[in-house]
Amino acid sequence: MRIVFASVLLAGTFALVGGQPVVSQQAGAVKPPFSLTISYNPKNPAQETSADQIVKAGSWLTFLIRKTNIADHEIPVRPHGCLLQYDVRDSSGSPVAHRKSKDPSGIVRMEPAGQPRMLQPGESKVIFEDVGNWYEMDKPGIYAVQVSQCLSDDPASDVVKSNALTITVLPADSPQPTQ
């Protein structure tokens, strides 16, 4: 019953985006050249799903991130100076703390520095990121995870946001979650 109530509560707490690219609106914003999706499947990490997940505390929290070129021209996987940004929030909408023993940046590279790899129209790049290793998500609770990336080499440019995933973490001694 608590999980059902928490799920209803989340509907009002998080603005979920359902896999469509979202661009922050600045004056003159144009259609984004790519989409981002984030997926988490505790039973089969390579199988993409944007469904809410229920896991036990201590579970492996590695997310699959897919960037897809939806433009009619090639684009860089990662524009210079434009890294993926993670937004991890608890059920009250507050940012989740970074783990003290890990890199606290919340920023990851999709490609190493140097010449950027290009995505052809319709092509995707998939990476796996251990977000649970960077953020304090091991306590029971409800978390929303979303990733974003700026549109150009200018880090102040508009950004594309992924869908948001809701992860419910149960106590480690709770029965195995069924989904």
Look at 105 and 129; give whichever has higher pLDDT. 129
Residue in the structure block whose two tokens are 């984030």: 38
User: For residue 81, is it left (φ>0), alpha (ψ between -120 and 50) or beta?
Assistant: left
Q: Say what the pTM is.
A: 0.75
Provide the pLDDT for residue 116: 65
Look at 6 and 129; give whichever has higher pLDDT. 129
Cβ contact 135:97 at 8 Å = yes
Provide the pLDDT for residue 115: 58
Collect all residues with Cβ–Cβ distance below 8 Å to 156 and sequence separation of at least 6. 150
Q: How confident is the model at residue 32 (pLDDT cuts 50, 70, 90)?
A: very high
Provide the pLDDT for residue 114: 52
CATH number among 1.10.10.10, 2.60.40.10, 3.30.70.920, 1.20.1540.10, domain 2-170: 2.60.40.10
Look at 121 and 46; give whichever has higher pLDDT. 121
Provide the pLDDT for residue 153: 74
130-149 confidence digits (pLDDT tens)? 888 889 998 999 999 999 99
CA distances, 161 to each of 44, 46, 59, 95, 106 (Å):
24, 21, 25, 16, 15
Provide the pLDDT for residue 37: 96
User: For residue 42, is it left (φ>0), alpha (ψ between -120 and 50) or beta?
Assistant: alpha
Dist. CA 163–CA 146, nearest whole Å: 6
Reported as type and span, the H/E element at residue 154 is none
76-122 confidence digits (pLDDT tens)? 888 777 788 999 999 999 999 988 754 445 554 444 445 568 999 99
Q: Is the pLDDT of residue 74 over 80?
A: yes
Least confident residue range of 22-26, 42-46, 96-100, 153-157:
22-26
